[in-house]
Each structure stands twice: as C-alpha cells, then as structure tokens.
Chains A and B, each alone.
Chain A
C-alpha cells in the first residue's frame, strides 16, 4: 500500500499554501536557458520536469546570499541599533533533489557546533522540505559515491517518487511532512518504480587522504589551470557555507550583514597587511577539495559533499569536484 498524489493536486496544494501566506519555493524557469530554485508567485511557475536540474541549491532558503544581522541608525550623536528586518516566514520547498536536502543535516553541524546560529536554525524550524526522487541523472551526478542515491531520504520531510505519468507516491518521513500532506493523498496499491542511480565514480576517503597527504603537489596545479576564479562552484553548492561579515551604509545608518563568500576568490584569504597565504588558484582549488573531504570529515564525521554535481555541471571552465576527485580515486 502507498499514498499517491497527482501533479494537478500537488499544484493545487501550492496554491493553497501560497494563499495561506506561506513562502513556497521550487524549480522555476527563470530565463530561456536556466532553471533555479526560486520563490514561486503562482502554482503554474512550479516546474515539475523530471529532467530539469536547477543550477542553484536549496541552501539559500536557510542561509541566504545576503542576510542582515542587525541594522543601525545614526541620529545626531546617537547611534541606535535595530533588530534585523529579515522576515522568517513559514517556508515549503517543493521539488528539490534528495542530494539538496541531504546537505542540510550536514550543514546543521557547522551552524551549531559552537555558536548556535539563531537565524539559520529559525529557518530550518520553519521549513518543510519536499523532495522528488531522481528518475534520471546526468554525467555530473555522483550521489551514490557519497552514500546517497535517487531515493535518499536524509534531510527531507517528505519524498515524492514519480511514476512518470504525472503522479507521485508520497512518503512522509517526519511529522512536518505528515502534516503537510494530511488529507491530500489517496491510498493506492501501486508502488513507485526503482530508479537507477549513477554508478560509483569516486572514493571520498581516498580523496580526503590524498588532500591531507599531498598538500604540496604539482597535481593541484595540473588540475586547476583552467580555473578562472569565480564563485559559481561554491555559491551553487548545497554544502559550501563560507560567509563574510560586512558593514554597509551611509551617514544616516546601515546594516551589518552576512554575505556568501568563496574560497576561490583571492580576497577570501587576503590579510590586511597585503599578504595572501593562498596566493594562487591551485591553492584555492586544493582548499575546496581539502575542506570537503578531509577537514570537515575530521571535525564533524562526514564529508561536505552530497555528490549533486552542481560545481561540475555549472563550472564555466569545465572543472568541478567530480573531475579532480575522479583523478585522485583512480589515479
């Protein structure tokens, strides 16, 4: 026995959630060549194409690219601090991939290990995540190498398994998921088909050990000559979480804000005195691999990667974790 829901009913649900004032986000066609996870204005905007792979990840609904921590106003000789104006509405994220959702429990470690990040945690508590199992995968996918797969349940509140005919089996995994779909599904004796995941492509333990033991190695230069030093890999990665704190404002006031930052930028490690400990792009590429497969596992017990392939799929220069990790795993 399973519970199922048809696509038109799912869209109807989106309409109801939006009408109830909730923020609903999901895959959306934003231009002729791009699909992004984005807040939806209407149910029709939700793209339920099983082939579609949004460029970005769902992390921005928990850890936004720009977030005000607090504001300040200058009036005469007084400086007045104001609380953050960021709204934290109830959110529903619909149509993410399992590899996106699995990133959140991994991120929970770093946002709670010493300082408990109140804004991140508040967003986590206010969000219900509904993922859609992957009926297809592409060349960049390597979730199976990271212990996940097309129907991985980690991080999801509910998992929808497509039958391919526009209907889904609904697996509610948490109380939040159950509450969301209560009374919306119909029992059926159909069960979802098996989906083939990508073959295993890399060995994360070997990648981590190599990064740790080959800190100085010509390998990094060979692998990263084509790197142009943009932030596409980090910003669209579901697990990259580095940020910068900035004060921005004018004579009347301003804000202290947290912005995304990327280890691929020279500015990321530039010291005030002008020295840069990671002065070349190969050092920065090495850092990304080293952090994901060695530093993070040593500290929190698991790799900072879900095998979603976003860095590899979207890199302007055809690089990404998969290529480097494959070289190490089979080299």
Chain B
C-alpha cells in the first residue's frame, strides 16, 4: 500500500504544435494548475505521431500516454488529424489483441483556446493512472496454448496441372513472356524455356504466394513474366497495382481455380476462383463461408494480462530471421525500417522488447494492406501465430470501414485516405 501511495505516474503526451501545444501553453499562462506528471513531446502534427512513439514511450517506463491534436476541421495541414484518427482506429484493436492496457492509452482533441480542457484531461489521466499503479510492460500471466476452433481442411482436385503447363508452354513459345513464375516439385520455379513447362506442378504443396517474387530484382531481370496465382494470391496483385508496384498490363496472370490446399486458411475461402487473371485454369466450387474471426474471439476472451502473456511467450521465440517479411508480397520496401541503423528506429536484438517492437511494426504496416495469404504464419520457424495479428487488422478494416484489401481494384487505400465521418468515440 505504501508503495502505491508513493507512486507518481509518468505520463507522456504526444501533442501537435498548432492546437494542443498551444492549449497547454494557454493553461500555463492562465495559471491553471495541472499535475506535473506529464511530459509533453511536441510534434508538427497529430498525423506525424507514429505508433512506434507510443511503443517507445511504454518501453521507457511510461505509465500512460496521450495523443492529442486539433479538433476535426481545425488541422493546420487540413487533414493530418483525420489521417491520424483513421490510423488509430486500426491500431487500437491491434494493441488490444496484444494485451496492452487500453486504459493507459488516451486520445483527445484540444484546441489552442482550450487551456481548461488540457488541464482537465491531464488531471483525469493522472488520477486514473495513479489508481492503476505502475505499468509492467510485457509482463503477463502465462497461459496454456488456446484451443482455436477447428476448421475442416478441404483439399481440392489438382486436375488443372496439364492446362497450366499448356498455357505456360504457349506463352513461352510464342514469346509473349520470357519467364513463367510457377510451382515446381521442390518449390517455386522460374521457367524460361517452353520445353521446361513440364517442370511446373499443381498440387497441395503449391502454398507459396508467388507474387512475393515480383519485388525481387533477380526475378525482374528475367524479363516480362507470367505468374501463376491462386485466388488468394491474386488479391496481392490487386494491392500491388493500387500501390504502383506493378504494371498489370506488363504481367500475364495465370489464375488457378483452387478448392483448397489443406491448410487452415483454406477453410471458407471466398476467392477460390481467380477474378482478374488473364486466363483461368479450371473451375472451383464456392466454399461454405465460415467465421474466420471466431479464432480471434478465443484470444479476446482472455484478460489483457493473459493475452500479453500469450504473446510474450510467442515473441520470446522470434529469431528475427525476417522470413515473415521476406515471403510477404506487401513487404516490398527497399530498406525495411528495422534494417535502418543510423539512427536505429527499432531494436535489432531478439529480446522481448525488441521482438514486440518489430512484430507490432510489421503487423501495423500491413493495416488495410494484408491480403490474408497467411504466408508469414506458414513459414515462421518459431510457429508464432502471426495470422492473429493480421486478422485483427483485417477485422478492424472490415468492421469499421467495410474494407477488405485486394478485393476491389477500384478501391482507394484505406490507410492512405480518410473520411470526415470516421467514428471517434475513443477520442475525448
């Protein structure tokens, strides 16, 4: 008890330069008293307040954080606060899934004229955090591995193999393309001669999302390509085109109708039949839809401490081999943030802190972009349930914005746009 009585929370407020900082200034010049527990970090705009700053604040023993900026419509840069709002709408569910204490993460709109509101918000946060006690980050209750709902794992028929080979042979012999990116007996193959078309296979091992190769310069150097995609992989092509990473007309897409490869993601698949391919081999019967989010409900039924315990155990195993990043078609940055070391943004060490920072960054950079191909989870040597992070963001996008990445070529980027109608119940 005596320890709690002596406890003074450390609160980090990330505020925008034009509104909340002026509000804080006004509180000072108006001689309004507020607790000295807050440390203010001033940034140009609320839209500049990166999610990594929050994580960093908690790593450095903050007990609560506040993100605050201009009221809607008041942004000095017109829309920075709208962008920020949408970003936090997607990011908060991810933090919640990871077991962060959401009572310690606050958002507010405070204008330059609201010295009183600044005083009131800081006072409330300080009092609430004082009651909560010191934050023990990444310390959770260890839990047994949860029982996720079992799904029926369908395995389709693979009769389309001959059709795929014929298509590849034709493309290569007629010179339409210089290389066919497809599946071989041992893994991905790059067929450059028509007579090698029989090296292509179509079976239950064709798991790799081959669109990940489109970013690799060794593959681009091979010339105009045809690529074999399943309906799930094809969603990645849609996003890559939206993000100007590929020129769709310069790529020949061989779509494979697929009734499932026998892994969990195949259950209830909504895209068995490719929709935008230049040619589709075979036809697939539609799958019975299932509730993919039921697996997340298992995690969300735990307490935040238990969830954090679950993830701490998982991330403790992360080797930082970056297989999750390398197999991901959406991770196409020439230099990943984690490889940046002048100055270092994210710890490169495979410690619990470093691994949380890395995994949060990787996941959140997929917000509204991940197409759910599940490759990161499949290849993770440590068996980390990365799908749950991606699925949480997918759910936030679908439930909050009726948006699903890679489904609609005409869609605008979720994270790159905003609406004045976005909900804001979590912002004071």
Contacts and interface: CB of A to CB of B under 8 A. Distances in A.
A230 B326 CA distance: 6
A31 B322 CA distance: 19
Instruction: With a 10 A CB-CB cut-off, give which of B145, B339, B350 has the most chain A CB atoms.
Output: B350
B287 interface: no
Contacts, number: 119
Interface size for chain A: under 10, 10 to 19, 20 to 34, or 35 or more residues?
35 or more
Contacts of A156: none
B381 A323 contact: no
Contact of B347 (A56, A244, A248): A248
Nearest to B349: A66
Interface stretch (A9-17, A107-115, A176-184, A256-264): A256-264
A260 B321 CA distance: 9
A31 B189 contact: no
A31 B381 contact: no
Interface string A31-42: 111101010000
Interface string A120-154: 00000000000000000000000000000000000
B358 to A, nearest CB: 12
A31 B218 contact: no
Contacts of A229: 326
B188 interface: yes
Interface stretch (A19-27, A289-297, A312-320): A312-320
Interface size for chain B: under 10, 10 to 19, 20 to 34, or 35 or more residues?
35 or more
B212 A55 contact: no
A267 interface: yes
Q: Is the interface of B mostly helix, strand, loop or mixed?
A: loop
B383 interface: yes
Given A38-B317, A318-B186, A259 B381 contact: no
B15 to A, nearest CB: 21
Interface string B190-225: 100000000000000000100011001111000000
Interface string A200-240: 00000000000000000000010001101111101110000
Nearest to B148: A32
Contacts of A228: 212-213, 216, 323, 326-327
10 contacts: A38-B317, A66-B354, A225-B190, A225-B218, A226-B190, A244-B348, A280-B217, A316-B378, A317-B208, A318-B187
Instruction: For the complex of A and B, list the 8 residue pairs with the smallest distance between their C-beta atoms, beginning with the closest.
Output: A318-B187, A34-B383, A31-B383, A231-B321, A230-B323, A316-B379, A230-B326, A228-B326
Given A259-B348, A259-B350, 8 more contacts: A30-B382, A31-B314, A32-B145, A235-B321, A248-B348, A280-B217, A317-B188, A318-B186
Interface of B: 60, 145, 148, 184, 186-190, 208, 212-213, 216-219, 314, 317, 319-323, 325-327, 339, 341, 344, 347-351, 354, 375, 378-385
